[in-house]
Structure 1
Amino acid sequence: MSKIPVYFMPGLAASPSIFERIQLDETIFEVCFLEWEIPNPKESLSDYAIRISKNIKHENPVLIGVSFGGILVQEISRHIQARKVIIISSVRSNAEFPRRMKIGKRTKAYKLIPMQILLNVEKLAKFSFGEKINKRIQLYEKFLSVRDIYYLQWAVETVIKWDRSQVDEKVIHIHGDNDHVFPIKYINSCIVVKGGTHIMILNKYKWLNENLPSIILD
Protein backbone atom coordinates (compact mmCIF):
# COMPACT_ATOMS: atom_id res chain seq x y z
CA MET A 1 0.00 0.00 0.00
CA SER A 2 1.40 3.41 -0.93
CA LYS A 3 1.79 5.99 1.80
CA ILE A 4 -0.46 9.05 2.07
CA PRO A 5 1.55 12.23 1.32
CA VAL A 6 1.00 14.94 3.95
CA TYR A 7 2.39 18.43 3.32
CA PHE A 8 2.74 20.85 6.24
CA MET A 9 2.86 24.66 5.76
CA PRO A 10 4.02 26.73 8.77
CA GLY A 11 2.61 30.05 9.94
CA LEU A 12 3.73 33.54 8.92
CA ALA A 13 7.55 33.78 8.64
CA ALA A 14 7.94 30.50 10.56
CA SER A 15 10.12 27.55 9.59
CA PRO A 16 8.89 23.95 9.28
CA SER A 17 10.61 23.27 12.63
CA ILE A 18 7.35 24.39 14.30
CA PHE A 19 6.14 20.89 13.40
CA GLU A 20 9.01 19.18 15.25
CA ARG A 21 6.64 17.72 17.88
CA ILE A 22 4.13 16.36 15.37
CA GLN A 23 4.61 12.65 14.75
CA LEU A 24 2.63 10.65 12.21
CA ASP A 25 2.99 6.91 11.64
CA GLU A 26 5.70 6.59 8.97
CA THR A 27 4.25 3.31 7.73
CA ILE A 28 1.02 5.12 6.73
CA PHE A 29 2.03 8.73 6.00
CA GLU A 30 4.84 10.35 4.06
CA VAL A 31 5.45 13.71 5.74
CA CYS A 32 6.78 16.63 3.66
CA PHE A 33 7.30 20.28 4.54
CA LEU A 34 6.67 23.42 2.53
CA GLU A 35 8.61 26.62 3.21
CA TRP A 36 7.99 30.32 2.70
CA GLU A 37 9.73 31.95 -0.24
CA ILE A 38 10.26 35.66 -0.81
CA PRO A 39 7.33 36.94 -2.89
CA ASN A 40 7.94 38.56 -6.24
CA PRO A 41 7.16 42.30 -6.47
CA LYS A 42 3.38 42.81 -6.24
CA GLU A 43 2.81 39.04 -6.47
CA SER A 44 -0.81 38.05 -5.83
CA LEU A 45 -1.67 35.37 -3.29
CA SER A 46 -3.00 33.21 -6.14
CA ASP A 47 0.26 33.47 -8.10
CA TYR A 48 2.26 32.83 -4.93
CA ALA A 49 0.15 29.74 -4.20
CA ILE A 50 0.84 28.40 -7.71
CA ARG A 51 4.58 28.96 -7.20
CA ILE A 52 4.65 27.19 -3.81
CA SER A 53 2.50 24.34 -5.19
CA LYS A 54 5.34 23.49 -7.60
CA ASN A 55 7.22 22.16 -4.55
CA ILE A 56 4.53 19.50 -4.09
CA LYS A 57 5.83 16.34 -5.73
CA HIS A 58 2.96 13.94 -4.96
CA GLU A 59 -0.47 13.62 -6.50
CA ASN A 60 -3.56 14.16 -4.36
CA PRO A 61 -1.74 15.13 -1.14
CA VAL A 62 -3.15 16.12 2.24
CA LEU A 63 -2.42 19.81 2.87
CA ILE A 64 -2.09 21.02 6.47
CA GLY A 65 -1.47 24.72 7.18
CA VAL A 66 -1.08 26.76 10.35
CA SER A 67 -2.35 30.37 10.63
CA PHE A 68 -1.33 32.21 7.41
CA GLY A 69 -0.13 28.83 6.18
CA GLY A 70 -3.75 27.67 6.57
CA ILE A 71 -4.88 30.46 4.25
CA LEU A 72 -2.13 29.56 1.78
CA VAL A 73 -2.98 25.83 1.61
CA GLN A 74 -6.60 26.75 0.86
CA GLU A 75 -5.36 28.85 -2.06
CA ILE A 76 -3.03 26.05 -3.21
CA SER A 77 -6.02 23.67 -3.26
CA ARG A 78 -7.61 25.90 -5.91
CA HIS A 79 -4.78 24.94 -8.27
CA ILE A 80 -4.06 21.29 -7.43
CA GLN A 81 -6.17 18.29 -6.51
CA ALA A 82 -5.87 17.74 -2.74
CA ARG A 83 -7.05 14.63 -0.91
CA LYS A 84 -7.85 16.79 2.12
CA VAL A 85 -7.21 20.35 3.36
CA ILE A 86 -6.76 20.82 7.11
CA ILE A 87 -6.13 24.20 8.73
CA ILE A 88 -4.95 24.80 12.30
CA SER A 89 -5.26 28.13 14.19
CA SER A 90 -6.45 29.81 11.00
CA VAL A 91 -9.64 30.93 9.21
CA ARG A 92 -11.71 29.57 6.32
CA SER A 93 -12.90 32.99 5.09
CA ASN A 94 -12.36 36.69 5.74
CA ALA A 95 -15.75 36.74 7.51
CA GLU A 96 -13.98 34.95 10.39
CA PHE A 97 -11.44 37.76 10.86
CA PRO A 98 -11.70 39.59 14.21
CA ARG A 99 -13.07 43.14 14.14
CA ARG A 100 -9.62 44.72 14.50
CA MET A 101 -8.46 43.09 11.26
CA LYS A 102 -11.56 44.28 9.40
CA ILE A 103 -10.98 47.81 10.73
CA GLY A 104 -7.29 47.50 9.81
CA LYS A 105 -8.28 46.69 6.22
CA ARG A 106 -10.55 49.74 5.99
CA THR A 107 -8.10 52.17 7.61
CA LYS A 108 -4.90 50.58 6.20
CA ALA A 109 -3.54 50.69 9.80
CA TYR A 110 -1.52 47.53 9.04
CA LYS A 111 0.85 49.73 7.03
CA LEU A 112 1.96 51.34 10.32
CA ILE A 113 3.25 48.09 11.87
CA PRO A 114 7.01 48.53 12.53
CA MET A 115 8.29 45.45 10.66
CA GLN A 116 11.91 46.30 11.49
CA ILE A 117 11.23 45.78 15.21
CA LEU A 118 9.50 42.46 14.54
CA LEU A 119 12.61 41.29 12.69
CA ASN A 120 15.00 42.40 15.42
CA VAL A 121 13.97 39.87 18.05
CA GLU A 122 17.08 40.47 20.13
CA LYS A 123 16.18 44.15 20.50
CA LEU A 124 12.58 43.23 21.29
CA ALA A 125 13.71 40.86 24.05
CA LYS A 126 15.65 43.66 25.80
CA PHE A 127 12.36 45.25 26.81
CA SER A 128 10.95 43.53 29.86
CA PHE A 129 7.47 42.27 29.02
CA GLY A 130 7.27 39.80 31.87
CA GLU A 131 8.21 36.14 31.84
CA LYS A 132 5.27 34.90 29.75
CA ILE A 133 5.84 37.35 26.88
CA ASN A 134 9.62 36.86 26.96
CA LYS A 135 9.09 33.10 26.60
CA ARG A 136 6.93 33.78 23.56
CA ILE A 137 9.66 36.03 22.13
CA GLN A 138 12.20 33.22 22.62
CA LEU A 139 9.85 30.84 20.78
CA TYR A 140 9.41 33.41 18.03
CA GLU A 141 13.18 33.73 17.72
CA LYS A 142 13.56 29.94 17.52
CA PHE A 143 11.00 29.40 14.78
CA LEU A 144 11.36 32.61 12.74
CA SER A 145 12.93 31.69 9.42
CA VAL A 146 12.12 34.58 7.08
CA ARG A 147 13.81 37.80 8.14
CA ASP A 148 12.85 39.87 5.14
CA ILE A 149 11.01 43.19 5.45
CA TYR A 150 9.33 42.91 2.04
CA TYR A 151 8.04 39.41 2.83
CA LEU A 152 6.55 40.57 6.16
CA GLN A 153 4.87 43.62 4.58
CA TRP A 154 3.52 41.45 1.76
CA ALA A 155 2.34 38.72 4.15
CA VAL A 156 0.49 41.05 6.54
CA GLU A 157 -1.18 42.92 3.68
CA THR A 158 -2.04 39.64 1.90
CA VAL A 159 -3.75 38.25 5.01
CA ILE A 160 -5.70 41.46 5.67
CA LYS A 161 -6.83 41.69 2.04
CA TRP A 162 -7.69 37.98 1.62
CA ASP A 163 -10.76 37.99 -0.61
CA ARG A 164 -12.32 34.62 0.22
CA SER A 165 -15.74 35.50 1.65
CA GLN A 166 -17.37 32.07 1.42
CA VAL A 167 -16.26 29.18 3.65
CA ASP A 168 -15.25 26.02 1.79
CA GLU A 169 -17.11 23.40 3.81
CA LYS A 170 -14.69 20.67 2.72
CA VAL A 171 -11.83 22.36 4.57
CA ILE A 172 -11.34 20.83 8.03
CA HIS A 173 -10.66 23.47 10.66
CA ILE A 174 -8.93 22.71 14.00
CA HIS A 175 -8.97 25.65 16.40
CA GLY A 176 -8.14 26.41 20.03
CA ASP A 177 -10.77 28.00 22.26
CA ASN A 178 -8.12 30.37 23.64
CA ASP A 179 -6.75 31.71 20.33
CA HIS A 180 -6.21 35.47 20.70
CA VAL A 181 -5.18 36.09 17.07
CA PHE A 182 -8.34 34.53 15.61
CA PRO A 183 -10.78 34.41 18.57
CA ILE A 184 -13.11 31.43 18.43
CA LYS A 185 -16.22 33.62 18.76
CA TYR A 186 -15.69 34.67 15.12
CA ILE A 187 -15.10 31.12 13.87
CA ASN A 188 -17.94 29.53 11.95
CA SER A 189 -17.48 25.81 12.60
CA CYS A 190 -14.44 23.86 13.73
CA ILE A 191 -13.01 21.02 15.77
CA VAL A 192 -12.35 22.72 19.11
CA VAL A 193 -9.19 22.04 21.11
CA LYS A 194 -9.77 22.95 24.77
CA GLY A 195 -7.16 25.39 26.05
CA GLY A 196 -5.60 25.66 22.60
CA THR A 197 -3.90 28.99 21.81
CA HIS A 198 -2.64 30.37 18.50
CA ILE A 199 0.60 28.39 19.00
CA MET A 200 -1.08 25.11 19.91
CA ILE A 201 0.94 23.35 17.19
CA LEU A 202 3.69 23.57 19.86
CA ASN A 203 1.88 23.10 23.15
CA LYS A 204 -1.11 20.91 22.17
CA TYR A 205 0.96 18.54 20.04
CA LYS A 206 -0.20 15.52 22.08
CA TRP A 207 -3.82 16.22 21.08
CA LEU A 208 -2.74 16.66 17.46
CA ASN A 209 -0.64 13.49 17.45
CA GLU A 210 -3.60 11.53 18.84
CA ASN A 211 -6.24 13.00 16.53
CA LEU A 212 -4.61 14.03 13.25
CA PRO A 213 -4.29 10.46 11.87
CA SER A 214 -8.03 9.74 12.19
CA ILE A 215 -8.92 13.23 10.86
CA ILE A 216 -6.73 12.57 7.79
CA LEU A 217 -8.04 9.03 7.24
CA ASP A 218 -11.70 9.75 7.96
Structure 2
Amino acid sequence: MAREIYIFSGLGADERVFQKLDFSGHKIAFIKWIAPQKDETIEQYATRLREQIPTTKPILIGLSFGGIMAVEVAKQIETEKVILIASAKTKHEIPIYYRVAGSLRLHKILPTALLKKSNAITNWLFGAESTSDKALLKQIVIDTDPLFLRWAIDKIALWKNQDEPHNLIHIHGTRDKILPYRFIKNVIKVKGGGHFMTLNKEDELNRILKQELMKESE
Protein backbone atom coordinates (compact mmCIF):
# COMPACT_ATOMS: atom_id res chain seq x y z
CA MET A 1 0.00 0.00 0.00
CA ALA A 2 1.34 3.42 -0.96
CA ARG A 3 2.13 5.63 2.02
CA GLU A 4 2.45 9.41 2.29
CA ILE A 5 5.96 10.07 3.53
CA TYR A 6 7.55 13.35 4.58
CA ILE A 7 11.33 13.37 4.67
CA PHE A 8 13.51 15.63 6.84
CA SER A 9 17.06 15.86 5.50
CA GLY A 10 20.16 16.30 7.64
CA LEU A 11 21.51 19.61 8.89
CA GLY A 12 21.91 21.92 5.92
CA ALA A 13 21.28 19.05 3.52
CA ASP A 14 18.44 18.40 1.09
CA GLU A 15 17.04 15.55 -1.00
CA ARG A 16 20.48 14.92 -2.54
CA VAL A 17 21.43 12.73 0.43
CA PHE A 18 18.45 10.45 -0.34
CA GLN A 19 19.21 10.03 -4.04
CA LYS A 20 20.13 6.34 -3.65
CA LEU A 21 17.13 5.35 -1.55
CA ASP A 22 14.15 3.75 -3.26
CA PHE A 23 10.74 5.09 -2.25
CA SER A 24 8.97 3.89 -5.39
CA GLY A 25 5.32 3.09 -4.80
CA HIS A 26 4.98 5.78 -2.15
CA LYS A 27 4.09 9.45 -2.27
CA ILE A 28 7.02 11.42 -0.86
CA ALA A 29 7.67 15.06 -0.08
CA PHE A 30 10.87 16.62 1.22
CA ILE A 31 10.50 19.11 4.05
CA LYS A 32 12.21 22.38 3.18
CA TRP A 33 14.39 23.97 5.82
CA ILE A 34 13.29 27.51 6.64
CA ALA A 35 15.23 30.33 8.27
CA PRO A 36 14.84 30.29 12.06
CA GLN A 37 13.40 33.40 13.64
CA LYS A 38 15.14 35.38 16.36
CA ASP A 39 15.15 33.45 19.66
CA GLU A 40 12.94 30.74 18.13
CA THR A 41 12.73 27.52 20.15
CA ILE A 42 12.98 24.08 18.56
CA GLU A 43 9.29 23.53 19.39
CA GLN A 44 8.29 26.76 17.64
CA TYR A 45 10.39 25.84 14.63
CA ALA A 46 8.69 22.42 14.49
CA THR A 47 5.31 24.15 14.47
CA ARG A 48 6.31 26.16 11.40
CA LEU A 49 7.71 23.08 9.63
CA ARG A 50 4.44 21.31 10.38
CA GLU A 51 2.70 23.65 7.93
CA GLN A 52 4.36 21.66 5.12
CA ILE A 53 2.51 18.50 6.22
CA PRO A 54 -1.19 18.61 5.26
CA THR A 55 -1.62 14.83 5.51
CA THR A 56 -3.44 13.09 8.35
CA LYS A 57 -1.26 10.46 10.09
CA PRO A 58 1.78 10.74 7.80
CA ILE A 59 4.99 8.74 7.98
CA LEU A 60 7.95 10.93 8.93
CA ILE A 61 11.52 10.00 8.02
CA GLY A 62 14.37 12.05 9.44
CA LEU A 63 18.12 11.93 8.89
CA SER A 64 20.47 13.29 11.57
CA PHE A 65 19.16 16.73 12.67
CA GLY A 66 16.16 16.00 10.46
CA GLY A 67 15.38 13.08 12.76
CA ILE A 68 15.40 15.38 15.78
CA MET A 69 12.97 17.69 13.98
CA ALA A 70 10.81 14.73 12.96
CA VAL A 71 10.56 13.78 16.65
CA GLU A 72 9.58 17.35 17.55
CA VAL A 73 6.92 17.49 14.81
CA ALA A 74 5.60 14.08 15.89
CA LYS A 75 4.96 15.54 19.36
CA GLN A 76 2.53 17.97 17.74
CA ILE A 77 0.64 15.79 15.23
CA GLU A 78 -0.57 12.21 14.99
CA THR A 79 1.75 10.09 12.87
CA GLU A 80 1.61 6.59 11.44
CA LYS A 81 5.34 6.00 11.90
CA VAL A 82 8.48 7.96 12.61
CA ILE A 83 11.68 6.54 11.10
CA LEU A 84 15.03 7.93 12.21
CA ILE A 85 18.27 7.37 10.32
CA ALA A 86 21.60 8.25 11.99
CA SER A 87 19.81 10.45 14.50
CA ALA A 88 18.72 10.64 18.15
CA LYS A 89 15.36 9.95 19.80
CA THR A 90 15.94 11.83 23.06
CA LYS A 91 18.51 14.04 24.73
CA HIS A 92 20.04 10.93 26.30
CA GLU A 93 21.33 9.83 22.87
CA ILE A 94 23.15 13.12 22.33
CA PRO A 95 26.75 12.51 23.48
CA ILE A 96 27.46 14.00 26.89
CA TYR A 97 30.41 15.99 25.51
CA TYR A 98 28.03 17.83 23.14
CA ARG A 99 25.68 18.61 26.01
CA VAL A 100 28.50 19.83 28.25
CA ALA A 101 29.82 22.03 25.44
CA GLY A 102 26.27 23.31 24.94
CA SER A 103 25.78 24.17 28.61
CA LEU A 104 29.10 26.04 28.57
CA ARG A 105 28.08 27.72 25.30
CA LEU A 106 31.39 26.66 23.73
CA HIS A 107 29.74 26.17 20.34
CA LYS A 108 28.95 29.89 20.29
CA ILE A 109 32.61 30.81 19.94
CA LEU A 110 33.40 28.54 16.99
CA PRO A 111 34.40 30.65 13.96
CA THR A 112 31.91 30.51 11.10
CA ALA A 113 34.76 29.73 8.70
CA LEU A 114 35.53 26.57 10.69
CA LEU A 115 31.89 25.45 10.62
CA LYS A 116 31.78 25.97 6.85
CA LYS A 117 34.97 24.08 6.05
CA SER A 118 34.98 20.64 4.43
CA ASN A 119 38.21 18.66 4.70
CA ALA A 120 39.65 15.26 5.55
CA ILE A 121 38.37 15.57 9.13
CA THR A 122 34.78 16.24 8.09
CA ASN A 123 34.97 13.43 5.55
CA TRP A 124 36.11 11.09 8.34
CA LEU A 125 33.47 12.29 10.79
CA PHE A 126 30.63 11.88 8.31
CA GLY A 127 31.94 8.66 6.81
CA ALA A 128 32.23 10.10 3.30
CA GLU A 129 34.52 7.62 1.57
CA SER A 130 34.13 7.77 -2.21
CA THR A 131 35.12 10.72 -4.36
CA SER A 132 31.47 11.43 -5.17
CA ASP A 133 30.44 11.30 -1.48
CA LYS A 134 33.22 13.71 -0.53
CA ALA A 135 32.25 16.08 -3.35
CA LEU A 136 28.59 16.03 -2.26
CA LEU A 137 29.49 16.63 1.39
CA LYS A 138 31.68 19.56 0.36
CA GLN A 139 28.82 21.06 -1.66
CA ILE A 140 26.36 20.57 1.20
CA VAL A 141 28.72 22.38 3.58
CA ILE A 142 29.10 25.23 1.08
CA ASP A 143 25.34 25.47 0.57
CA THR A 144 24.46 25.52 4.28
CA ASP A 145 23.30 28.85 5.69
CA PRO A 146 25.76 29.67 8.52
CA LEU A 147 23.02 31.30 10.63
CA PHE A 148 20.83 28.20 10.34
CA LEU A 149 23.86 26.02 11.10
CA ARG A 150 24.64 27.92 14.31
CA TRP A 151 20.98 27.86 15.39
CA ALA A 152 20.69 24.11 14.75
CA ILE A 153 23.94 23.25 16.57
CA ASP A 154 22.64 25.20 19.56
CA LYS A 155 19.35 23.27 19.53
CA ILE A 156 21.09 19.90 19.23
CA ALA A 157 23.50 20.63 22.10
CA LEU A 158 20.71 21.88 24.37
CA TRP A 159 17.92 19.49 23.31
CA LYS A 160 15.71 18.60 26.29
CA ASN A 161 13.40 16.00 24.77
CA GLN A 162 12.81 12.80 26.76
CA ASP A 163 9.71 11.50 24.94
CA GLU A 164 9.80 8.94 22.12
CA PRO A 165 7.05 9.00 19.47
CA HIS A 166 4.70 6.06 19.18
CA ASN A 167 5.67 3.59 16.42
CA LEU A 168 9.23 4.89 16.20
CA ILE A 169 11.82 2.99 14.17
CA HIS A 170 15.47 3.92 14.59
CA ILE A 171 18.14 2.85 12.08
CA HIS A 172 21.74 3.53 13.06
CA GLY A 173 25.20 2.65 11.80
CA THR A 174 27.80 1.03 14.02
CA ARG A 175 30.53 3.36 12.73
CA ASP A 176 28.68 6.66 13.15
CA LYS A 177 31.19 9.17 14.54
CA ILE A 178 28.82 12.14 14.83
CA LEU A 179 26.27 10.29 16.98
CA PRO A 180 28.18 7.21 18.16
CA TYR A 181 26.33 3.91 18.17
CA ARG A 182 27.22 3.21 21.82
CA PHE A 183 24.90 6.02 22.96
CA ILE A 184 21.92 4.80 20.92
CA LYS A 185 19.29 2.38 22.27
CA ASN A 186 16.72 0.12 20.61
CA VAL A 187 17.85 0.39 17.00
CA ILE A 188 18.02 -1.54 13.78
CA LYS A 189 21.76 -1.87 13.32
CA VAL A 190 23.58 -1.20 10.04
CA LYS A 191 26.99 -2.81 10.40
CA GLY A 192 29.75 -0.46 9.29
CA GLY A 193 27.33 2.38 8.60
CA GLY A 194 28.48 5.95 9.22
CA HIS A 195 26.62 9.25 9.39
CA PHE A 196 26.54 9.46 5.58
CA MET A 197 25.20 5.93 5.13
CA THR A 198 22.22 6.95 2.99
CA LEU A 199 24.81 7.22 0.21
CA ASN A 200 27.16 4.31 0.90
CA LYS A 201 24.98 1.72 2.66
CA GLU A 202 21.98 2.19 0.41
CA ASP A 203 21.37 -1.51 -0.27
CA GLU A 204 21.00 -2.31 3.42
CA LEU A 205 18.92 0.82 4.07
CA ASN A 206 16.61 0.10 1.14
CA ARG A 207 16.06 -3.42 2.44
CA ILE A 208 15.25 -2.18 5.95
CA LEU A 209 13.01 0.66 4.76
CA LYS A 210 11.06 -1.58 2.41
CA GLN A 211 10.50 -4.05 5.22
CA GLU A 212 9.43 -1.40 7.75
CA LEU A 213 7.16 0.48 5.34
CA MET A 214 5.34 -2.75 4.50
CA LYS A 215 4.48 -3.37 8.15
CA GLU A 216 1.10 -2.25 9.42
CA SER A 217 1.24 0.23 12.28
CA GLU A 218 -0.03 -0.85 15.65
- The answer for the alignment partner of 1:173 in structure 2 is 170
Contact in 2 for aligned 1:73/1:85 (Cα 8 Å): yes
What value does the CA root-mean-square deviation take over the aligned residues?
Answer: 2.3
Aligned residue runs from structure 1 range 36-55, under 5 A: 36-55=33-52
- The answer for the alignment partner of 1:215 in structure 2 is 212
CA distance in 2, matches of 1:92, 1:173: 8
Aligned residue runs from structure 1 range 73-84, under 5 A: 73-84=70-81
Aligned residue runs from structure 1 range 1-218, under 5 A: 3-26=2-25, 29-119=26-116, 121=117, 124=118, 135=131, 137-144=134-141, 146-168=143-165, 170-218=167-215
Amino acid at match of 2:42: L
Task: Report SS of the residue matched to 1:54.
Answer: helix
Question: What is the TM-score of this pair, normalised by structure 1?
Answer: 0.87
CA distance in 2, matches of 1:35, 1:203: 24
CA distance in 1, matches of 2:134, 2:79: 35
Note closer, same or farther for the CA distance 1:130–1:201 as it changes in structure 2 (3 Å cut): closer
Contact in 1 for aligned 2:103/2:158 (Cα 8 Å): no
Contact in 2 for aligned 1:18/1:143 (Cα 8 Å): no
Task: Report SS of the residue matched to 2:52.
Answer: coil
Note closer, same or farther for the CA distance 1:42–1:129 as it changes in structure 2 (3 Å cut): closer
Once the two structures are TM-superposed, the CA of residue 139 in structure 1 deviates from its matched residue by: 2.5
Note closer, same or farther for the CA distance 1:107–1:149 as it changes in structure 2 (3 Å cut): same
Once the two structures are TM-superposed, the CA of residue 59 in structure 1 deviates from its matched residue by: 1.8
Q: Which range moved further: 8-17 or 134-143? A: 134-143
Once the two structures are TM-superposed, the CA of residue 148 in structure 1 deviates from its matched residue by: 2.2
1:116-154 deviation digits (Å, cap 9, x = unpaired): 3333x5xx55xx769967956522223347532221111
Identity of aligned residues (%): 30
Amino acid at match of 2:50: S
CA distance in 2, matches of 1:117, 1:208: 31
1:74-109 deviation digits (Å, cap 9, x = unpaired): 101111111100100011111112232122123211
Stretches of structure 1 lacking an aligned partner (at least 5 in a row): none
Amino acid at match of 1:4: R
Amino acid at match of 2:66: G
CA distance in 2, matches of 1:196, 1:130: 16
Contact in 1 for aligned 2:7/2:62 (Cα 8 Å): yes
Aligned length: 210
Question: What is the TM-score of this pair, normalised by structure 2?
Answer: 0.87
CA distance in 1, matches of 2:195, 2:103: 24
